[in-house]
Each structure stands twice: as C-alpha cells, then as structure tokens.
Amino acid sequence: MSGGMWAEKYRPMTLDEMVNQTEIVSRLKQFVKERNLPHLLLVGPAGVGKTTSILALARDLYGPGYGNFILELNASDERGIDVIREKVKFFARTAAISSEVLFKILIMDEADNLTSAAQHALRRTMERYTRTCRFCLIGNYSENILDPIQSRCSIFRFSPLSEDDLKGWIGTIARKEDVNLLEEGLDAIYEASKGDMRKAINLLQAAAATQGGEVDDVAIYSVLGRVGPERIREMIGLGLKGDFIEAREVLRGLLIDEGLAAEDILRVVYSEVLRMNISEQWKVKLSDAIGEVDYRLTQGSRPEIQLGALLAKLVLAGEEMGR
C-alpha cells in the first residue's frame, strides 16, 4: 500500500474520469467544447464531486498550466467583505494572459458561509468583471446564497453517489492498493459514507492501515468507533427467543464494557429490524417502539433502562410471533 492521502491520489483529473453526476459532467464538457462558461453555483452534500468537477473542467479548459488561471478561496476561512474587496477584485479584473480562453475562474468553496455584506459585494464584482472572470460558487445549501447571485448563475445540484458508483470506485481503489476488501466491508463503507466518496475513501485507507490489508465490516466499525452489527444481532436474537436476561447481559457489555453510546446501539437495532425476515406489521410495531426509546433518550432518560425496555418488547414480540 502506498503512502499519501488516497482521496487526493484518486481524485479525477479530467471530466472524463468522473464516475458519477453524468448529466452535470456532460453539461460541463459542453462548456469546455464551446470555450465559454457562465457563472456557476454548485450545490450538494460533501464529498460528491463539486470541487473536483470544477478543477477537472479548469484542467480540460486551460491544459497543464491551469493553475495560473484559477483562484481557489474557502469562504469558511475568509468570509468577510475585505476578502471580496481585495483578493477577489484583484484577481477578477485582469484578463487571462497567454491563453486561448479569455477569462479566468474564481472558485469560492463553502460560499454559503459568506456574510450577507460579502455576498452583496461579490454580486457587484461578478457584474463588473464578467468579461475577465467567471465565478464558480460551491456550497451545501443554495438557500443560503442571495437570490441576486443565484439568478446570475447556472445552478447545478449534485446528489450523493449511487451505491453502484461508490462501491465500484472503492473496489477499484482497493485492487490498486492491494487491499483485500471483503463484501461486508464494502457494504459497511457504503452504509457509513452515505454517498460521500471522500469519506468512503478515507474509511478504506484508515481500515486498511489498521488491519494490515484485509478490510471487513468489523474493521470499518472499529475505525468509526462504532459497534459492529454482530453483537447487536446476537442481542436481538436472544430477545426474540425469550432470553431476556442473556440479551440484557449483552446490552450491558455494549454500554459498559465497550462504552458505546445508546444512540449508536439504537441506530443499528433499527437497521437490523428493517432487514429481519419478519412481517411488515411487526417491523412497524418494532420501529414504533424504537422511535419511542429514541425520543426518551433525547429527553434525558437513562439509556440502560430504555434499551432494557426495548429488549422486553422484543421478548414479547418473539412470543407473539411464535404463536
């Protein structure tokens, strides 16, 4: 396994290398072909390719020296009006020299963190320097961006990666890095990353480093500091069989010996119940019971008592199902 951050090492360099967001990527390719670009607003959750796609576009547009024609700013670090007045204006007002493309690109990451005053200043700068500079604003939520800015931009909404895209790319990286990634490990990475490719790659790298090249679901859960589902499956199984005391002992072990948060245990119980081979009616009843426990935990109830009460419901459910 090689050193360095895999998330950077395997970041797509060109639009052709992007594995997802196909509709957005095809529109960006069209801009490259036309050698023209509107102001852009890219919104969506973390790790789904917003910054990667605009850097790939810049590389495709300007070639190897693309770094001379872009300026990257992070609005969460530099959110005030002074940054807009100084850095942005200075960059925006000069044309791209020694390039067939006449404009430069200013990339403002986390633009939804800009103050209102900074956004108003940015709007004026965008209007004034459109000929020499295109603005690409990136954020999680478009509603935090002023309407006058939104109306000047083409808005692209990025979605979390699909299961096939994420698993396919993670599997490719595992093969390139000689990591023996087991199917259950891949499933756990997908569950934990929720379509965030950067998080998925970082999880794979961390688990591979700690487990010596073999990654299963236990390795992923240990990196996350969360419980693997086996012990919880065991606890649920004991409850449904009517072994309340034994199920409670497993619960005590999870809470006390392993120091797990009740909320984390409850989250896994919920996902396991939905996967169980029981009737829809029982899934509804148990989901309702889990929701009640979750609410009580948020109100400050004692975790052991609340989770114990849930186990009692599992025992009763097991008895009724067995009839």
Helix (H) or strand (E) holding 40: strand 39-43
Secondary structure (DSSP) of 78-115: S-SHHHIIIIIHHHHTSPPTTSSS--EEEEEETGGGS-
CA 178 to chain centre: 25
Assigned token pair, 203: 């999880």
pLDDT of residue 66: 92
Residue-level pLDDT at 2? 53
Domain ranges for the chain, please list them.
21-157, 163-224, 229-322
Q: What is the rounded distance in angstroms from the CA atom of residue 214 to the CA atom of residue 192? A: 18
Residue 84 is predicted with a pLDDT of 66
Residue 215, strand partner residues: 181
Q: Decide: 275 and 204 in contact? Cβ < 8 Å.
A: no
**What is the reported pLDDT for 45?**
92
H or E, element range at 43: strand 39-43
So what's the pLDDT on residue 178? 92
- Decide if 125 contacts 84 (C-beta within 8 A): yes
The topology (CATH level 3) of 163-224 is: Helicase, Ruva Protein; domain 3 (1.10.8)
Q: Is-contact 284 251, C-beta < 8 A?
A: no
Rounded to two decimals, the pTM is 0.72
SS in 3 state form for 188-230? HHHHHHCCCHHHHHHHHHHHHHHHCCEECHHHHHHHHCCCCHH
Give φ, ψ of 2 to 5 degrees.
Answer: -85, 160
Instruction: Note down pLDDT in tens along the chain; length 323 residues.
Output: 555 789 999 999 999 999 888 999 999 999 999 999 999 999 999 899 999 999 999 999 999 989 989 988 886 665 556 666 677 788 888 777 767 888 999 999 888 888 888 888 889 889 998 888 999 999 998 898 999 999 999 999 999 999 999 999 999 999 999 999 999 999 999 988 989 999 999 999 999 988 777 898 888 888 887 666 778 888 999 998 889 999 999 888 888 877 778 888 888 888 888 888 888 888 898 999 999 999 998 888 888 899 999 999 889 888 887 75
Topology of domain 21-157 in CATH is Rossmann fold (3.40.50)
The domain 229-322 is classified under which CATH number: 3.90.550.10, 3.30.70.360, 3.40.50.720, 1.20.272.10?
1.20.272.10
Distance of alpha carbon 279 from alpha carbon 201, whole angstroms:
37
